[in-house]
Amino acid sequence: MTADVATQAPEHAPKTARSDRARSEARLGWWLAGPAFVVMLAVTIYPILQALYDSLFNYRLTAPDDKAFIGLNNYKVVLTDSLFWQSLWVTTLIMVVSVVVELVLGFALALVMHRAITSLRGLLRTAILVPYGIITVVSAFAWFYAFDINSGFINHWFDWVPGIDPNLNWFAHQGTSLFVIIASEIWKTTPFISLLLLAGLSQVPTELEEAAEVDGATWGQRLRRVVLPNMKAAIMVAVLFRALDAFRIFDNVFIMTNGANNTNVLSLLAYNTSINRLEIGLGSAISVILFLCVILICFIAIKLFKVDLASARGEG
């Protein structure tokens, strides 16, 4: 409110003075924010344009002199390769499963923290933040060693569960590998989603919830009719950010299977093509496709769920 009054006041000042002031304020604004802006563009726009350019060439670092313009041929190679579609499917699967589980688990954790008495809330929040502070690669090793057929203990602990016995090699099959990969991903990133949801929960007006309780609404009804609609923005932001993050998954897969047994994901495919096989042209094409996928996910989220990212992030 005060800001509105402050910006309205100069409207009545003489026009030239105002535009002078506005101009110098704009200049100062860009002097201060410009460097950060330029750096952000330089570290993202330039590389993606370079990737776009390189993707049009047959370009391998093992034979740099044979670089030749081949148009969209790299894209044709990628899009007709079954490995690409397999990776896209696995990436999407990991994204959908981890986001759904994290949303449910994160919401449960947020509710627990929201309802807990003050002394307990501190303890719970402290515990929840531990996975957030752990390096993803460390989380990947922790889960890998726990399930590994040689150094693991999970097989011995859970041998009463049908299908699990000391000889089960979790990382020799697609389904079981993906299970551990997703588990590590969920463990590490649920704290973030649950903190976002907790912030959303605390914005639900307590009067509304109390009024519903007085009117005899059950817990489930209050959750569905009062709490969830009021924190839609927080949920959407959490889902979109986690979905985009999960779509870029790399660390867990690299450490646990390195793409073996049909667990390859898009990021790993791009990495192996350009950094390991030095096929810059082909790798660039995958990079561009990955980038377009992220844009597509954003577009779908914004159109379909009407997420206004800017307003949800406090930019009303």
Partner 1 sequence: MRTMTPKLRIWWGVITVLVLVYALFPVFSIIATSFKLPSQLNLGTFLPKTWTWSNYEQILTGSAKDLFLPALRNSIGISLIATAVAVVLATLAAYAIARLDFPGKRLILTTALGVSIFPVVSIVTPLFNLWRNIGLYDTWLGLIIPYLSLTLPISIWTLAAFFRQIPWELEQAAQVDGATPWQAFRKAIVPLAAPGVFTTALIAFFIAWNDFVYGISLTSTSAARPVPAALAFFTGASQFEEPTGAISAAAVIVTIPVVILVLLFQRQIVSGLTQGAVKG
| DSSP symbols for 10-38 | GGGS-HHHHHHHHHHHHHHHHHHHHHHHH
Q: What mask, x for binding partner 1 by CB under 8 A, covers residues 118 to 137?
A: x-x--xxxxxxxxxxxxxxx
The nearer residue to partner 1, 14 or 130, going by C-beta atoms, is 130
Identity of the residue numbered 275: I
Which residues in the 205-224 window bind partner 1 by CB under 8 A? Answer: none
Which residue of 74, 106, 247, 259 would you call a contact of partner 1, by CB under 8 A?
247
> Cα–Cα distance between 11 and 8 in angstroms, integer?
6
Give the closest residue to 249 by CA, choosing from 276, 229, 270: 270
Phi first, then psi, for residue 69 (nearest 5°) are -70, 125
Binds partner 1 (CB under 8 A): choice among 89, 157, 158, 299: 157
Site string for partner 1, 64-93 (x = CB under 8 A): ------------------------------
Quick one: which of 78, 99, 182, 234 contacts partner 1 (CB under 8 A)? Answer: 234
Q: Does 309 bind partner 1 (CB under 8 A)?
A: yes
**CA end-to-end distance (rounded Å), the chain:** 13
Residue 33, exposed/middle/buried by CB under 10 A (0-12, 13-18, 19+)? exposed
Count residues binding partner 1 (CB under 8 A). 105
Residue 99 binds to partner 1 (criterion: CB under 8 A)? no
Binding mask 2-31 for partner 1 (x = CB under 8 A): -----x--------------x--xx-xxx-
The minimum distance between CB 250 and partner 1, in angstroms, equals 5
Measured from the CB atom, is 94 or 128 closer to partner 1? 128
Q: Looking at beta carbons only, is 38 or 72 nearer to partner 1?
A: 38
Q: How far is CA 69 from the centre of its chain?
A: 35
Select the residue interacting with partner 1 from 171, 200, 222, 259 (CB under 8 A).
200
Least distance CB 65 / partner 1 (angstroms): 15
Give phi and psi for 293, each to the nearest 5: -60, -45
Q: Virtual CA dihedral for 276, 278, 280, 285, nearest 10 degrees?
A: -40
229 lies in the binding site for partner 1 (CB under 8 A): no
User: Please, are residues 307 and 237 in contact by the beta-carbon 8 Å criterion?
Assistant: yes
